[in-house]
Amino acid sequence: MNPRVSASKTVVSTKGQSFSGRLLLLVVGWSLIATAIAALIRLDIGVAPYAALNVGLGTLLGVAPGTAMWASGSILVALAWFLGHRPGPATPLGLLTIGFLVNAALPLVSFLEDVRFKEVIFILAVLVLFQGVCLTIVSSYGAGPIEVLVLALRGRGLSLRASSWGVEFASAGIGFLLGGPVNLLTMLFVLLAGPVIAVLLPLTTRIFGHR
């Protein structure tokens, strides 16, 4: 799939998809995203840029990362809407749900702080996060705040890779300024985000787009 195709082609047609099937994709996507974010925070060797932003913001505000996500995500969604990409009906609900699930998952994955081979688990968590993102997009009910902003930038003519890299680098930069855990692995995440999503999204669309 050419990453420069129009943003309208990124969100798959829902023709032939059942309501329950699309809802299942959405819920599974939310769960994967929240679990991966919590795992990355607990591994404490490097988190996704948006997670770094929310960890830093949460520390600044004295709230949990998932709670901070409600504030930062609202700003990103508003920005995407301003750029011309209207969020789907589930985007606000997803923002609240994922934030809640991250807070709930953090104590459940606390064992990851002491595991061996953290780098391997980091890579697996990143892939799980990317797959969750793709499932929410394919459901067509509304992607998350980062993805909505990426799609808005893509709709303005940027490639999928460039849009993803731009948003991720900006999140990492703001997270660093807020005192979030930004390091070399966070930068690796930034570099992987565009290419991996560009591969996973059309693949996920072919598998789940017309269920």
Q: What is the pLDDT of residue 164?
A: 80
Tell me if 196 is assigned to some domain. yes
- For residue 162, the model assigns a pLDDT of 84
What is the arithmetic mean of pLDDT over 25-40? 93
Cβ burial of 93 (10 Å; 0-12, 13-18, 19+) is middle
Q: HEC string of 143-192? A: CCHHHHHHHHHHHCCCCHHHHHHHHHHHHHHHHHHCCCCCCHHHHHHHHH
CA 77, CA 171: separation in Å to the nearest integer?
14
In a domain, 112, yes or no: yes
Q: What is the pLDDT confidence band of residue 66, given thresholds at 50, 70 and 90?
A: very high
Are the CB atoms for 102 and 34 separated by under 8 Å? yes
Would residue 6 count as lying in a domain? no
Q: Is residue 174 included in any domain, yes or no?
A: yes
8 Å CB contact between 65 and 51 = yes
> For all residues of the chain together, what is the average pLDDT?
84
Q: How many residues does the chain have?
A: 211
Domain count, the chain: 1
Percentage of the chain lying above the pLDDT 90 cut: 38
Q: Is the pLDDT of residue 1 over 70?
A: no
For the cut 70, the answer to whether the pLDDT of residue 59 exceeds it is yes
Query: Is-contact 34 98, C-beta < 8 A?
Result: yes
* pLDDT confidence of residue 177: 94
Instruction: Write out the residue range of the structural domain in which residue 180 sits.
Output: 15-208
Residue 11 has a pLDDT of: 43
Q: How many CA atoms lie within 13 A of 190 on its CB side?
A: 21
Sign of CA dihedral 206, 131, 135, 3: negative
In a domain, 7, yes or no: no
pLDDT tens per residue, range 99-148? 999 999 999 999 998 888 888 898 899 899 989 988 988 887 877 788 88
Instruction: Answer whether residue 2 is part of any domain.
Output: no
What dihedral angle (degrees, nearest 10) is formed by the CA atoms of 203, 205, 210, 211? 70
Residue 203 domain-assigned (yes or no):
yes
- The model's pLDDT over 144-201, given as tens digits with 9 standing for 90+, comes to 788 889 889 988 888 877 888 888 889 999 999 999 988 888 888 878 777 888 888 8
Model's pTM, two decimal places? 0.79
At residue 196, the pLDDT reads 85
CA separation for the pair 48, 198 (Å, rounded): 17
Residue 126 to residue 48: CA distance in whole angstroms:
8
**Is 146 inside a domain boundary?**
yes
Q: Helices 91-108 and 65-82 meet at what angle, rounded to 10? A: 160
Which helix (H) or strand (E) segment is 139 a member of?
helix 118-139
pLDDT, position 205: 87
| Section 11-17 average pLDDT | 49
Contact 204, 196 (CB under 8 A): no
